Amino acid sequence: MSTVTVVVPTVVRPSLRTLLLALAAAEGPAPRRVIVVDDRPRPAPLDLPDLPFPCEVMRSHGRGPAAARNVGWRAADTEWAAFLDDDVIPSSTWLADLEADLAPLGDDDAASQGRIEVPLPGDRRATDAERGTAALAESRWITADMAYRREVLQAVSGFDERFTRAFREDSDLALRVVDAGWRLGLGARLSRHPARDRGFLASVRDQIGNADNALMRAKHGYTWRQRAGERPARFLSHLATTALGTAAALGALRGRRWAPAAAAAWGVQTARFAANRMAPGPRTPAELADMALSSALIPPVATFWSAVGALRHRPAPRPDAVLFDRDDTLIADGPYLSDAEKVRPMPGAEIAMRRLRAAQVLVGVVTNQSGIAKGLITHAELSEVNRRVDELLGPFGVWKVCPHTAEDGCRCRKPAPGMIAAAAAKLGARPEQCVMIGDTGADVTAALAAGARAILVPTDATRPSETAMARRRATVAADLCEAVNLALGDIA
Protein backbone atom coordinates (compact mmCIF):
# COMPACT_ATOMS: atom_id res chain seq x y z
CA MET A 1 0.00 0.00 0.00
CA SER A 2 1.78 3.12 -1.18
CA THR A 3 -0.52 5.24 0.98
CA VAL A 4 0.33 3.58 4.32
CA THR A 5 3.30 3.65 6.68
CA VAL A 6 3.15 1.23 9.61
CA VAL A 7 4.55 2.70 12.85
CA VAL A 8 5.55 0.36 15.70
CA PRO A 9 6.67 1.95 18.99
CA THR A 10 8.63 -0.58 21.02
CA VAL A 11 10.72 -1.19 24.11
CA VAL A 12 12.06 -4.24 22.24
CA ARG A 13 10.12 -7.04 23.87
CA PRO A 14 10.39 -10.50 22.27
CA SER A 15 6.90 -9.95 20.87
CA LEU A 16 8.31 -7.34 18.42
CA ARG A 17 9.84 -10.07 16.25
CA THR A 18 6.55 -12.02 16.32
CA LEU A 19 4.66 -8.92 15.18
CA LEU A 20 7.02 -8.20 12.28
CA LEU A 21 6.98 -11.80 11.07
CA ALA A 22 3.17 -11.86 11.21
CA LEU A 23 3.04 -8.61 9.25
CA ALA A 24 5.47 -10.00 6.66
CA ALA A 25 3.31 -13.12 6.22
CA ALA A 26 -0.03 -11.27 6.03
CA GLU A 27 -1.97 -11.29 2.78
CA GLY A 28 -2.41 -8.00 0.99
CA PRO A 29 -0.37 -5.14 -0.46
CA ALA A 30 2.81 -4.32 1.42
CA PRO A 31 3.03 -0.97 3.22
CA ARG A 32 5.28 1.75 1.81
CA ARG A 33 7.54 1.05 4.77
CA VAL A 34 7.53 0.07 8.43
CA ILE A 35 9.04 2.44 10.99
CA VAL A 36 10.10 0.77 14.24
CA VAL A 37 10.64 3.39 16.95
CA ASP A 38 12.97 2.12 19.68
CA ASP A 39 11.91 3.83 22.92
CA ARG A 40 14.55 2.37 25.19
CA PRO A 41 16.45 5.04 27.15
CA ARG A 42 19.73 3.48 26.02
CA PRO A 43 18.99 1.92 22.63
CA ALA A 44 21.20 -0.80 21.24
CA PRO A 45 21.25 -2.31 17.73
CA LEU A 46 18.11 -4.25 16.85
CA ASP A 47 18.20 -7.74 15.39
CA LEU A 48 15.20 -7.61 13.06
CA PRO A 49 14.09 -10.39 10.73
CA ASP A 50 14.34 -10.12 6.96
CA LEU A 51 11.18 -8.42 5.74
CA PRO A 52 9.59 -8.10 2.29
CA PHE A 53 9.17 -4.32 2.69
CA PRO A 54 11.45 -1.45 3.77
CA CYS A 55 11.90 -1.24 7.54
CA GLU A 56 13.58 1.69 9.27
CA VAL A 57 14.57 1.98 12.93
CA MET A 58 14.25 5.34 14.67
CA ARG A 59 14.72 6.26 18.33
CA SER A 60 12.75 8.26 20.90
CA HIS A 61 15.12 7.73 23.86
CA GLY A 62 12.71 6.56 26.55
CA ARG A 63 10.22 9.44 26.32
CA GLY A 64 7.22 7.10 26.21
CA PRO A 65 4.87 5.66 23.57
CA ALA A 66 3.24 9.01 22.73
CA ALA A 67 6.62 10.51 21.83
CA ALA A 68 7.62 7.32 19.98
CA ARG A 69 4.49 7.44 17.82
CA ASN A 70 5.12 11.10 17.08
CA VAL A 71 8.63 10.29 15.89
CA GLY A 72 7.20 7.62 13.60
CA TRP A 73 4.33 9.46 11.93
CA ARG A 74 6.34 12.65 11.46
CA ALA A 75 8.92 10.64 9.54
CA ALA A 76 6.23 9.13 7.31
CA ASP A 77 5.47 10.55 3.88
CA THR A 78 2.20 8.70 3.21
CA GLU A 79 -1.45 9.62 3.53
CA TRP A 80 -1.98 7.17 6.40
CA ALA A 81 0.04 6.18 9.47
CA ALA A 82 -1.07 2.80 10.83
CA PHE A 83 -0.01 2.27 14.45
CA LEU A 84 0.59 -1.20 15.87
CA ASP A 85 1.77 -1.92 19.41
CA ASP A 86 4.70 -4.27 19.63
CA ASP A 87 2.72 -6.89 21.57
CA VAL A 88 -0.11 -7.45 19.08
CA ILE A 89 -0.19 -10.08 16.35
CA PRO A 90 -1.91 -9.01 13.11
CA SER A 91 -4.18 -11.56 11.46
CA SER A 92 -3.13 -13.48 8.36
CA THR A 93 -5.18 -11.08 6.19
CA TRP A 94 -4.37 -7.88 8.08
CA LEU A 95 -2.82 -5.95 5.19
CA ALA A 96 -5.67 -6.77 2.83
CA ASP A 97 -8.21 -5.93 5.52
CA LEU A 98 -6.48 -2.62 6.24
CA GLU A 99 -6.68 -1.67 2.59
CA ALA A 100 -10.40 -2.55 2.58
CA ASP A 101 -10.99 -0.56 5.78
CA LEU A 102 -9.35 2.59 4.39
CA ALA A 103 -10.70 2.48 0.84
CA PRO A 104 -14.23 3.85 1.51
CA LEU A 105 -13.18 6.61 3.94
CA GLY A 106 -13.85 10.22 2.95
CA ASP A 107 -12.16 13.49 3.82
CA ASP A 108 -14.10 13.80 7.09
CA ASP A 109 -12.93 10.36 8.27
CA ALA A 110 -9.80 10.80 10.34
CA ALA A 111 -9.05 7.25 11.42
CA SER A 112 -9.90 3.58 11.26
CA GLN A 113 -9.60 1.41 14.36
CA GLY A 114 -8.86 -2.28 14.10
CA ARG A 115 -10.52 -4.91 16.26
CA ILE A 116 -8.55 -6.44 19.12
CA GLU A 117 -9.01 -10.05 20.23
CA VAL A 118 -7.66 -11.14 23.62
CA PRO A 119 -7.61 -14.94 24.00
CA LEU A 120 -8.26 -16.01 27.60
CA PRO A 121 -7.50 -19.38 29.20
CA GLY A 122 -10.05 -22.07 28.37
CA ASP A 123 -9.31 -24.31 31.35
CA ARG A 124 -9.73 -21.81 34.19
CA ARG A 125 -11.11 -18.41 35.07
CA ALA A 126 -9.13 -15.36 34.04
CA THR A 127 -7.00 -13.52 36.57
CA ASP A 128 -7.47 -9.86 37.37
CA ALA A 129 -4.54 -8.96 35.09
CA GLU A 130 -5.91 -11.06 32.24
CA ARG A 131 -9.35 -9.47 32.58
CA GLY A 132 -7.65 -6.07 32.42
CA THR A 133 -6.00 -6.99 29.11
CA ALA A 134 -9.29 -8.43 27.81
CA ALA A 135 -10.90 -5.02 28.32
CA LEU A 136 -8.88 -3.82 25.32
CA ALA A 137 -11.33 -5.67 23.10
CA GLU A 138 -14.08 -3.28 24.19
CA SER A 139 -12.03 -0.09 24.36
CA ARG A 140 -12.57 2.85 22.03
CA TRP A 141 -9.84 4.50 20.01
CA ILE A 142 -6.89 2.49 21.31
CA THR A 143 -3.79 2.77 19.13
CA ALA A 144 -2.79 -0.88 19.59
CA ASP A 145 -4.20 -1.09 16.03
CA MET A 146 -5.23 2.31 14.69
CA ALA A 147 -4.69 4.07 11.36
CA TYR A 148 -4.78 7.89 11.24
CA ARG A 149 -4.62 10.29 8.34
CA ARG A 150 -1.28 12.03 8.56
CA GLU A 151 -2.82 15.45 7.84
CA VAL A 152 -5.14 14.98 10.82
CA LEU A 153 -2.21 14.16 13.08
CA GLN A 154 -0.48 17.26 11.74
CA ALA A 155 -3.58 19.35 12.41
CA VAL A 156 -3.76 18.40 16.10
CA SER A 157 0.04 18.13 16.57
CA GLY A 158 -0.11 14.40 17.16
CA PHE A 159 0.06 12.72 20.56
CA ASP A 160 0.46 14.78 23.71
CA GLU A 161 3.87 13.76 25.05
CA ARG A 162 2.89 14.63 28.62
CA PHE A 163 1.33 11.15 28.62
CA THR A 164 4.57 9.28 29.22
CA ARG A 165 2.99 5.86 29.81
CA ALA A 166 0.87 3.70 27.54
CA PHE A 167 -2.27 5.09 29.13
CA ARG A 168 -4.82 7.68 27.97
CA GLU A 169 -2.63 9.13 25.20
CA ASP A 170 -4.82 7.48 22.56
CA SER A 171 -8.11 8.65 24.11
CA ASP A 172 -6.76 12.19 24.42
CA LEU A 173 -5.78 12.26 20.74
CA ALA A 174 -9.15 10.87 19.66
CA LEU A 175 -11.12 13.41 21.70
CA ARG A 176 -9.12 16.26 20.17
CA VAL A 177 -9.71 14.89 16.68
CA VAL A 178 -13.45 14.46 17.27
CA ASP A 179 -13.67 17.96 18.76
CA ALA A 180 -12.08 19.30 15.59
CA GLY A 181 -14.93 17.86 13.54
CA TRP A 182 -13.55 14.59 12.16
CA ARG A 183 -15.02 11.10 12.44
CA LEU A 184 -13.33 7.98 13.80
CA GLY A 185 -14.45 4.65 12.36
CA LEU A 186 -14.17 0.98 13.26
CA GLY A 187 -12.65 -1.32 10.65
CA ALA A 188 -12.96 -5.07 10.12
CA ARG A 189 -9.27 -6.03 10.42
CA LEU A 190 -8.26 -8.08 13.44
CA SER A 191 -5.20 -8.23 15.68
CA ARG A 192 -4.64 -10.56 18.61
CA HIS A 193 -3.31 -9.25 21.91
CA PRO A 194 -2.10 -12.07 24.16
CA ALA A 195 -2.91 -11.74 27.85
CA ARG A 196 0.19 -11.89 30.02
CA ASP A 197 1.02 -12.13 33.68
CA ARG A 198 2.23 -8.71 34.83
CA GLY A 199 3.48 -9.76 38.26
CA PHE A 200 2.43 -9.44 41.88
CA LEU A 201 0.67 -6.16 42.81
CA ALA A 202 0.65 -4.94 39.18
CA SER A 203 -2.76 -3.37 39.85
CA VAL A 204 -1.18 -1.18 42.54
CA ARG A 205 1.56 -0.04 40.19
CA ASP A 206 -1.13 0.79 37.63
CA GLN A 207 -2.54 3.47 39.94
CA ILE A 208 0.05 5.91 38.66
CA GLY A 209 -2.37 6.26 35.74
CA ASN A 210 -4.58 8.40 37.99
CA ALA A 211 -2.16 11.26 37.33
CA ASP A 212 -2.93 10.88 33.62
CA ASN A 213 -6.65 10.88 34.42
CA ALA A 214 -6.10 14.29 36.03
CA LEU A 215 -4.50 15.52 32.79
CA MET A 216 -7.53 14.22 30.89
CA ARG A 217 -9.83 16.18 33.22
CA ALA A 218 -7.73 19.31 32.77
CA LYS A 219 -7.88 19.03 28.99
CA HIS A 220 -11.37 17.66 28.36
CA GLY A 221 -13.45 18.40 31.45
CA TYR A 222 -15.22 16.08 33.86
CA THR A 223 -17.28 14.36 31.10
CA TRP A 224 -14.25 12.90 29.33
CA ARG A 225 -14.96 9.38 30.59
CA GLN A 226 -18.44 9.25 29.11
CA ARG A 227 -17.21 10.70 25.81
CA ALA A 228 -14.37 8.20 25.62
CA GLY A 229 -16.57 5.23 26.55
CA GLU A 230 -14.76 4.65 29.84
CA ARG A 231 -16.29 3.09 32.95
CA PRO A 232 -17.13 5.46 35.84
CA ALA A 233 -14.20 6.22 38.12
CA ARG A 234 -13.89 4.72 41.60
CA PHE A 235 -12.14 7.84 42.88
CA LEU A 236 -14.80 8.86 45.42
CA SER A 237 -14.91 5.34 46.85
CA HIS A 238 -11.10 5.22 47.06
CA LEU A 239 -11.05 8.66 48.68
CA ALA A 240 -13.62 7.60 51.28
CA THR A 241 -11.72 4.39 52.08
CA THR A 242 -8.45 6.31 52.39
CA ALA A 243 -10.08 8.88 54.67
CA LEU A 244 -11.49 6.12 56.91
CA GLY A 245 -8.13 4.35 57.12
CA THR A 246 -6.32 7.60 57.90
CA ALA A 247 -8.89 8.51 60.56
CA ALA A 248 -8.61 5.07 62.14
CA ALA A 249 -4.81 5.26 62.29
CA LEU A 250 -4.71 8.79 63.68
CA GLY A 251 -7.53 8.05 66.12
CA ALA A 252 -5.72 4.97 67.45
CA LEU A 253 -2.50 6.95 67.95
CA ARG A 254 -4.38 9.60 69.91
CA GLY A 255 -6.58 7.18 71.83
CA ARG A 256 -9.88 8.41 70.38
CA ARG A 257 -12.96 6.34 71.23
CA TRP A 258 -14.25 6.53 67.68
CA ALA A 259 -11.09 4.96 66.23
CA PRO A 260 -12.43 1.35 66.33
CA ALA A 261 -15.57 2.44 64.46
CA ALA A 262 -13.47 4.10 61.77
CA ALA A 263 -11.29 1.00 61.51
CA ALA A 264 -14.35 -1.22 61.18
CA ALA A 265 -15.79 0.99 58.44
CA TRP A 266 -12.42 0.89 56.64
CA GLY A 267 -12.39 -2.90 56.95
CA VAL A 268 -15.88 -3.22 55.50
CA GLN A 269 -15.02 -0.96 52.55
CA THR A 270 -11.77 -2.81 51.85
CA ALA A 271 -13.36 -6.26 52.21
CA ARG A 272 -16.16 -5.36 49.83
CA PHE A 273 -13.67 -4.06 47.26
CA ALA A 274 -11.53 -7.20 47.59
CA ALA A 275 -14.53 -9.54 47.36
CA ASN A 276 -15.73 -7.88 44.15
CA ARG A 277 -12.29 -8.35 42.59
CA MET A 278 -11.88 -11.96 43.80
CA ALA A 279 -15.30 -13.17 42.68
CA PRO A 280 -14.66 -13.55 38.93
CA GLY A 281 -11.08 -14.84 39.28
CA PRO A 282 -9.49 -18.28 39.60
CA ARG A 283 -9.21 -17.93 43.43
CA THR A 284 -5.83 -19.61 43.61
CA PRO A 285 -3.78 -18.83 46.73
CA ALA A 286 -1.49 -16.49 44.78
CA GLU A 287 -4.40 -14.63 43.17
CA LEU A 288 -6.29 -14.32 46.47
CA ALA A 289 -3.18 -12.97 48.20
CA ASP A 290 -2.64 -10.45 45.40
CA MET A 291 -6.28 -9.30 45.47
CA ALA A 292 -6.36 -9.01 49.28
CA LEU A 293 -3.18 -6.97 49.62
CA SER A 294 -3.71 -4.84 46.52
CA SER A 295 -7.29 -4.02 47.56
CA ALA A 296 -5.92 -2.50 50.76
CA LEU A 297 -3.19 -0.58 48.93
CA ILE A 298 -5.06 0.67 45.86
CA PRO A 299 -7.27 3.32 47.55
CA PRO A 300 -4.43 5.33 49.16
CA VAL A 301 -2.12 4.90 46.18
CA ALA A 302 -4.87 5.96 43.75
CA THR A 303 -5.69 8.97 45.93
CA PHE A 304 -2.02 9.96 46.09
CA TRP A 305 -1.55 9.86 42.31
CA SER A 306 -4.83 11.69 41.74
CA ALA A 307 -3.58 14.49 43.99
CA VAL A 308 -0.21 14.55 42.21
CA GLY A 309 -1.96 14.79 38.84
CA ALA A 310 -4.32 17.52 40.02
CA LEU A 311 -1.39 19.63 41.21
CA ARG A 312 0.71 18.92 38.13
CA HIS A 313 -2.00 19.39 35.51
CA ARG A 314 -4.28 22.36 35.94
CA PRO A 315 -6.82 23.32 33.27
CA ALA A 316 -5.34 25.72 30.74
CA PRO A 317 -7.77 28.59 30.10
CA ARG A 318 -8.94 28.85 26.52
CA PRO A 319 -8.03 32.21 24.96
CA ASP A 320 -10.79 34.76 24.44
CA ALA A 321 -9.52 35.25 20.89
CA VAL A 322 -6.67 34.32 18.56
CA LEU A 323 -5.34 37.06 16.30
CA PHE A 324 -3.26 36.43 13.18
CA ASP A 325 -0.84 38.34 11.06
CA ARG A 326 -1.88 38.05 7.42
CA ASP A 327 1.12 37.78 5.12
CA ASP A 328 3.31 34.67 5.50
CA THR A 329 1.12 33.58 8.41
CA LEU A 330 -2.35 33.04 6.92
CA ILE A 331 -1.48 33.52 3.25
CA ALA A 332 1.70 33.39 1.21
CA ASP A 333 3.27 36.81 0.98
CA GLY A 334 3.79 38.69 -2.26
CA PRO A 335 5.34 42.14 -2.75
CA TYR A 336 2.45 44.43 -1.85
CA LEU A 337 -0.12 41.82 -2.87
CA SER A 338 -2.86 43.56 -4.83
CA ASP A 339 -4.37 40.74 -6.91
CA ALA A 340 -7.03 38.75 -5.05
CA GLU A 341 -6.65 35.89 -7.52
CA LYS A 342 -3.10 35.31 -6.28
CA VAL A 343 -4.13 34.73 -2.66
CA ARG A 344 -2.82 31.34 -1.51
CA PRO A 345 -3.33 30.02 2.05
CA MET A 346 -0.24 28.98 3.95
CA PRO A 347 0.15 25.22 4.58
CA GLY A 348 -2.23 24.08 7.30
CA ALA A 349 -4.15 27.36 7.42
CA GLU A 350 -7.53 25.83 6.57
CA ILE A 351 -7.15 23.09 9.16
CA ALA A 352 -5.89 25.54 11.81
CA MET A 353 -8.95 27.74 11.33
CA ARG A 354 -11.17 24.67 11.48
CA ARG A 355 -9.66 23.80 14.86
CA LEU A 356 -10.35 27.26 16.27
CA ARG A 357 -13.92 27.38 15.05
CA ALA A 358 -14.60 23.90 16.42
CA ALA A 359 -13.32 25.19 19.77
CA GLN A 360 -15.59 28.27 19.40
CA VAL A 361 -12.69 30.68 19.79
CA LEU A 362 -12.99 34.16 18.26
CA VAL A 363 -10.51 34.97 15.48
CA GLY A 364 -9.24 38.16 13.88
CA VAL A 365 -6.51 39.57 11.63
CA VAL A 366 -4.09 42.42 12.39
CA THR A 367 -1.83 43.35 9.51
CA ASN A 368 0.63 46.07 8.47
CA GLN A 369 -0.02 47.23 4.89
CA SER A 370 2.42 50.05 4.18
CA GLY A 371 1.79 49.63 0.45
CA ILE A 372 -1.20 51.93 0.91
CA ALA A 373 0.92 54.85 2.12
CA LYS A 374 3.53 54.15 -0.54
CA GLY A 375 0.93 54.20 -3.30
CA LEU A 376 1.71 50.63 -4.36
CA ILE A 377 -1.76 49.30 -3.60
CA THR A 378 -5.16 50.97 -3.38
CA HIS A 379 -7.71 50.66 -0.60
CA ALA A 380 -10.03 48.91 -3.07
CA GLU A 381 -7.38 46.34 -4.02
CA LEU A 382 -6.57 45.73 -0.35
CA SER A 383 -10.25 45.20 0.40
CA GLU A 384 -10.53 42.66 -2.41
CA VAL A 385 -7.49 40.73 -1.16
CA ASN A 386 -8.85 40.69 2.39
CA ARG A 387 -12.27 39.65 1.12
CA ARG A 388 -10.61 36.72 -0.67
CA VAL A 389 -8.82 35.72 2.56
CA ASP A 390 -12.22 35.77 4.28
CA GLU A 391 -13.64 33.52 1.56
CA LEU A 392 -10.84 31.00 1.85
CA LEU A 393 -10.19 31.00 5.60
CA GLY A 394 -12.84 33.14 7.27
CA PRO A 395 -15.00 34.69 8.26
CA PHE A 396 -12.87 36.60 10.73
CA GLY A 397 -14.50 38.50 13.55
CA VAL A 398 -12.36 41.58 13.03
CA TRP A 399 -9.87 43.02 10.55
CA LYS A 400 -7.42 45.68 11.70
CA VAL A 401 -5.15 47.17 9.05
CA CYS A 402 -2.37 49.73 9.49
CA PRO A 403 -1.83 51.60 6.18
CA HIS A 404 1.16 53.59 7.42
CA THR A 405 4.90 53.32 6.96
CA ALA A 406 7.38 53.02 9.81
CA GLU A 407 8.34 56.66 9.32
CA ASP A 408 4.79 57.85 9.99
CA GLY A 409 5.17 57.17 13.71
CA CYS A 410 1.60 55.90 14.12
CA ARG A 411 0.36 54.00 17.16
CA CYS A 412 -1.17 51.15 15.17
CA ARG A 413 1.72 49.75 13.14
CA LYS A 414 3.29 46.67 14.66
CA PRO A 415 5.48 46.49 16.76
CA ALA A 416 3.21 49.06 18.44
CA PRO A 417 0.33 47.39 20.33
CA GLY A 418 -2.48 49.57 18.96
CA MET A 419 -4.02 47.15 16.46
CA ILE A 420 -3.97 44.22 18.89
CA ALA A 421 -5.68 46.24 21.62
CA ALA A 422 -8.26 47.56 19.13
CA ALA A 423 -8.95 44.09 17.70
CA ALA A 424 -9.43 42.63 21.17
CA ALA A 425 -11.85 45.44 22.08
CA LYS A 426 -13.81 44.90 18.88
CA LEU A 427 -14.18 41.20 19.72
CA GLY A 428 -15.13 41.94 23.32
CA ALA A 429 -11.97 40.18 24.51
CA ARG A 430 -9.33 41.10 27.04
CA PRO A 431 -5.86 41.57 25.49
CA GLU A 432 -4.26 39.48 28.25
CA GLN A 433 -6.57 36.61 27.26
CA CYS A 434 -5.69 36.83 23.57
CA VAL A 435 -3.01 35.06 21.55
CA MET A 436 -1.20 36.67 18.62
CA ILE A 437 0.25 34.36 15.96
CA GLY A 438 2.65 35.80 13.40
CA ASP A 439 5.92 35.31 11.56
CA THR A 440 7.98 38.36 12.56
CA GLY A 441 9.52 39.86 15.64
CA ALA A 442 7.17 42.83 15.23
CA ASP A 443 4.19 40.48 15.76
CA VAL A 444 5.74 39.16 18.97
CA THR A 445 6.71 42.59 20.30
CA ALA A 446 3.27 44.06 19.57
CA ALA A 447 1.52 41.20 21.34
CA LEU A 448 3.70 41.41 24.43
CA ALA A 449 3.29 45.20 24.56
CA ALA A 450 -0.49 44.73 24.50
CA GLY A 451 -0.32 42.12 27.27
CA ALA A 452 -1.23 39.24 24.95
CA ARG A 453 0.52 35.89 24.47
CA ALA A 454 2.67 35.61 21.36
CA ILE A 455 3.49 32.60 19.19
CA LEU A 456 5.98 32.92 16.35
CA VAL A 457 5.76 30.64 13.31
CA PRO A 458 9.06 31.31 11.51
CA THR A 459 9.36 31.26 7.74
CA ASP A 460 12.41 31.54 5.51
CA ALA A 461 12.02 35.32 5.75
CA THR A 462 12.06 35.40 9.56
CA ARG A 463 15.36 36.70 10.91
CA PRO A 464 17.27 34.35 13.23
CA SER A 465 17.41 37.14 15.81
CA GLU A 466 13.60 37.34 15.77
CA THR A 467 13.30 33.61 16.38
CA ALA A 468 15.85 33.75 19.19
CA MET A 469 13.94 36.63 20.82
CA ALA A 470 10.66 34.71 20.54
CA ARG A 471 12.21 31.64 22.19
CA ARG A 472 13.23 33.81 25.15
CA ARG A 473 10.12 35.94 25.53
CA ALA A 474 7.28 34.01 23.88
CA THR A 475 6.72 30.68 22.11
CA VAL A 476 7.96 29.32 18.79
CA ALA A 477 5.89 26.80 16.80
CA ALA A 478 6.99 24.63 13.90
CA ASP A 479 3.88 25.41 11.84
CA LEU A 480 0.49 27.08 11.99
CA CYS A 481 -1.31 23.97 13.24
CA GLU A 482 1.11 23.58 16.12
CA ALA A 483 0.71 27.27 16.95
CA VAL A 484 -3.08 26.89 17.18
CA ASN A 485 -2.79 23.78 19.34
CA LEU A 486 -0.40 25.61 21.66
CA ALA A 487 -2.84 28.54 21.83
CA LEU A 488 -5.67 26.16 22.79
CA GLY A 489 -3.57 24.41 25.42
CA ASP A 490 -3.98 21.05 23.66
CA ILE A 491 -0.24 20.41 23.78
CA ALA A 492 2.48 21.67 26.10
User: What is the distance between the alpha carbons of residues 367 and 333, in angstroms, rounded to a whole number?
Assistant: 12
Query: Which tens digit of pLDDT belongs to each residue from 235-256?
Result: 999 999 999 999 999 999 999 9
CB 465 within 8 A of CB 441: yes
Sign of the C-alpha dihedral, residues 296, 166, 136, 120?
negative
Beta-carbon contacts of 204 under 8 Å, excluding residues fewer than 6 positions away, are: 294, 297, 298, 301
pTM for the model: 0.86
Query: Which tens digit of pLDDT belongs to each residue from 419-476?
Result: 999 999 999 999 999 999 999 999 999 999 999 999 999 999 999 999 999 999 999 9
Predicted pLDDT at 196: 82
Length of the chain: 492
Query: Which tens digit of pLDDT belongs to each residue from 49-102?
Result: 999 999 999 999 999 999 999 999 999 999 999 999 999 999 999 999 999 999
DSSP string, 99-134: HHHHTT--TTEEEEEEEEE----SSSPPPHHHHHHH
User: What is the distance between the alpha carbons of residues 210 and 232, in angstroms, rounded to a whole number?
Assistant: 13
Predicted pLDDT at 491: 80
Predicted pLDDT at 181: 86
Give me the active site residues, please: 325, 327
Query: Residue 375: which pLDDT band, with cuts at 50, 70 and 90?
Result: very high
User: What is the distance between the alpha carbons of residues 438 and 458, in angstroms, rounded to a whole number?
Assistant: 8
Query: Which tens digit of pLDDT belongs to each residue from 218-238?
Result: 999 889 999 998 888 899 999
Q: How far apart are the first and last CA of the chain?
A: 34
Residue 362 has pLDDT above 90, yes or no: yes
Predicted pLDDT at 355: 87
The vertex-446 CA angle with 442 and 449, nearest 5°, equals 140
Burial class (CB in 10 A: 0-12, 13-18, 19+), 131: middle
User: What is the distance between the alpha carbons of residues 457 and 436, in angstroms, rounded to a whole number?
Assistant: 11
Query: Which tens digit of pLDDT belongs to each residue from 402-414?
Result: 999 988 989 899 9
Residue 333 has pLDDT above 90, yes or no: no
Residue 418 has pLDDT above 90, yes or no: yes
Residue of 5, 8, 3 lying closest to 21 (CA atoms): 8
Give every strand in the sheet of 453-456, ordered side by side: 398-402, 362-368, 321-324, 434-438, 453-456, 475-476
Query: Which tens digit of pLDDT belongs to each residue from 156-198?
Result: 999 999 999 999 999 999 999 998 889 999 999 999 999 888 8
Mean pLDDT score of the chain: 94
Backbone angles phi, psi at 62, to 5 degrees: 75, 20
Burial class (CB in 10 A: 0-12, 13-18, 19+), 397: middle
**DSSP state, residue 336:** T
> What domains appear along the chain, each with residue ranges and CATH number?
4-198 (3.90.550.10), 199-315 (no CATH), 321-488 (3.40.50.1000)
User: What is the distance between the alpha carbons of residues 451 and 387, in angstroms, rounded to a whole number?
Assistant: 29
Burial class (CB in 10 A: 0-12, 13-18, 19+), 249: middle
